[in-house]
Amino acid sequence: MIYQGTLGNYDIEFQPSTWPGPGPDYPYTRVVHFGQFPLDSGGQALVFLYFVPAGRPIPASGVRASTAPLVFDISAPMEDYPAVVEMLRLEAGPFKFYFDESDPGGWVLRTGDGPVGEERFQK
């Protein structure tokens, strides 16, 4: 199944790079959490975007079974973390989320339709 929706609020969790993670199945040290948002197909969802340091296995991304709202656990290499934080910092939003359940690597975080240069950068 393909899921998509417009994200709302977010927060960032930062752990030291030496932290092993909360367990062997979760070797991350950075998390971007997107709070509850509506899916285009109906229902609600949350997204946890986990960033895993180099040298650690990156778990498969997926949808947690039998949760309401739906919870997406998305894993990415640490090298993607700066780009995501920069996007969140510089863009006014809205942010769109896309996930293809048949392809756990098939997720996308993108900006919504906004003016080029955004207002805050215009003189």
* Nearest by Cα to 47 from 114, 101, 98, 111: 98
Ranges in the chain, pLDDT < 50? none
pTM, full prediction? 0.87
d(CA 12, CA 32): 5
d(CA 47, CA 10): 9
Write down the pLDDT at residue 115: 63
Contacts of 47 (CB under 8 A, 6+ apart): 7, 33, 34, 37, 71, 72, 74, 97
Paired tokens of 42:
């109906």
User: 3-34 pLDDT, tens per residue?
Assistant: 999 998 999 999 998 999 888 888 999 999 99
Question: Helices H, strands E: what count in the chain?
Answer: 1, 8
